[in-house]
Amino acid sequence: MNGETARRTPGVRHQDTADPADPAGPRRMVALDRFEALRLLGGVSFGRVVFTQHALPAIRPVNHVVDGGDIVIRTHEGAALVSHTQQAGDPGVVVAYEADAIDPATHLGWSVVVTGYARMVTDPRDLARYRAALRPWVHRTMDFTVRIQPEEITAVRLVPWSE
Amino acid sequence: MNGETARRTPGVRHQDTADPADPAGPRRMVALDRFEALRLLGGVSFGRVVFTQHALPAIRPVNHVVDGGDIVIRTHEGAALVSHTQQAGDPGVVVAYEADAIDPATHLGWSVVVTGYARMVTDPRDLARYRAALRPWVHRTMDFTVRIQPEEITAVRLVPWSE
């Protein structure tokens, strides 16, 4: 497989349509800029917040809104995430946030990964606005509204090799 | 919103169909067992591997196969993940693996999060088998085959409140 890949010549189209494990054939990754990444994120309703819990990697699917370049989520889970961001003067805890839209058959689509500081939203007007826009998936008595300020955004589009 | 939630009585159906931000109405989370979780994972072709890179949370979408209760991925990225698992005698590095199928409009569906040890696959027969089953999304000259042995599985199905 590695040998096969090494023999490929850049710029030459290779059709792998005979490969049942990869019906879409070869594809390539196109890096997207910050603006396009946030536009794609804003166009979907949910993603996954990634954080560290008890020194282990943790991930939870949540819904989100993009507001002024920040990602805003409401979370019931991830108490570890919120406990850090509740302390005044704390710059926040670093989390990652991921959303994607990848076709299960062709694996064409896009993926956006944001890394940034997560902080509790405490302003009452902001809270009211976000709570109206973001309905939690499951009713619980306690939830937190968290803003993630992107420091680094890595976004790619997976397109057919021939495009 | 919290007040509204607190007034809900367990076991009583609440219809929120008038809420344009939540067209599916209330839903509830049903915990799934390990068997069902691995069955769901095996039924989809990709997920997201979550690991720690330079002390920061990192996540990459990848495709997978489920084999004998383990999750097997091929990855070009995540050199941090692989460098740890290459050392002999190393129990592996702890990662999380997530897959979900959540309806963008209703937010009904399922989510599976596996936490476990990631180790390089080095057996030539296993490598050949996994390489045939798992085609990387983008052709590169280098990739690693990694096996994640689940230690903990958290899986939920999001169903309508009335089910």
Query: Model confidence over B123-161: pLDDT tens digits?
Result: 999 999 998 888 777 766 557 889 999 999 999 999 988
Distance (Å) from the alpha carbon of B13 to chain A's nearest alpha carbon: 12
- Enumerate the residues of chain B whose CB falls inside 8 A of the CB of residue A51: 57
Q: Count other Cβ atoms within 10 Å, centred on residue A118.
A: 25
For B3, other C-beta atoms within 10 Å of its C-beta total 7
Residues of A with Cβ-Cβ distance to B133 under 8 angstroms: 21
Q: Do A139 and B57 touch (CB under 8 A)?
A: no
Residues A87-128 have pLDDT tens digits of 656 677 899 999 999 998 888 999 999 999 988 888 999 999
Specify the DSSP element, H or E, that contains B3. Answer: helix B2-6
Residue A92 distance to chain B (closest CA, Å): 13
For residue B139, the model assigns a pLDDT of 66
CB distance from B158 to chain A under 8 Å? yes
The SS3 assignment for A7 reads helix
For the cut 90, the answer to whether the pLDDT of residue A52 exceeds it is: no
Residue with tokens 């589009």: A157
> Most B CBs within 10 Å: which of A77, A115, A127, A139, as the mutation test of the B interface?
A139
Give the separation between CA B6 and CA A115, rounded to whole angstroms. 34
What distance in Å separates the CA atoms of residue B146 and residue B64, rounded to the nearest whole number? 10
The answer to whether B138 contacts A29, with C-beta atoms less than 8 Å apart, is: yes
Spans of chain B below 50 pLDDT: 1-18
CA atoms of A52 and B56, how far apart (whole Å): 8
Report the distance separating Cα A38 and Cα A68, nearest Å. 10
The pLDDT confidence band at residue A79, using thresholds 50, 70 and 90, is low
pLDDT > 50? residue A161: yes
A-contacting residues in B 83-122 (Cβ below 8 Å) = 94-96, 98, 100, 102, 104-105, 107, 111, 113, 115
Q: Which residues of B touch A138 (CB under 8 A)?
A: 27-29, 158
State the pLDDT at residue A163.
74
What's the pTM value of the predicted model, to 2 decimals? 0.82
Question: Cα separation of A46 and A150, whole Å?
Answer: 16
pLDDT of residue B21: 54
Dihedral Cα A37, A64, B45, B49, nearest 10 deg: 80
Which residues pair with residue A53 across a beta bridge?
A: A56
Mean pLDDT score of chain A, rounded to an integer? 80
- What pLDDT is recorded for position B154? 95
Dihedral angle of Cα A88, A90, A93, A98, to the nearest 10 degrees: 70
3-state helix, strand, coil in chain B (%, to 5): 20, 45, 35
From CA B160, how far away is CA B163, in angstroms rounded?
A: 6
Show residues of chain A in contact with B46, CB under 8 Å: 102, 104, 107
Q: What's the pLDDT score for residue B13?
A: 40
CA atoms within 13 A on the CB side of A148: 32
Give residue B108's pLDDT: 92
- CB-neighbour burial class of residue B15 (10 A; exposed 0-12, middle 13-18, buried 19+): exposed
Nearest CA in chain B to A107: B137
> What pLDDT is attached to residue B76?
72
Ranges of H-type helices in B16-159: 34-42, 79-85, 124-133
- Nearest-CA neighbor of B135 among B72, B52, B68, B57? B72
**Sole residue written with tokens 């704390």:** A90
pLDDT for A147: 92
pLDDT at B73: 93
Q: How far is CA B16 from the centre of its chain?
A: 30
- Helix (H) / strand (E) element for A4: namely helix A2-7
CA proximity to A157, closest of A107, A115, A122: A107
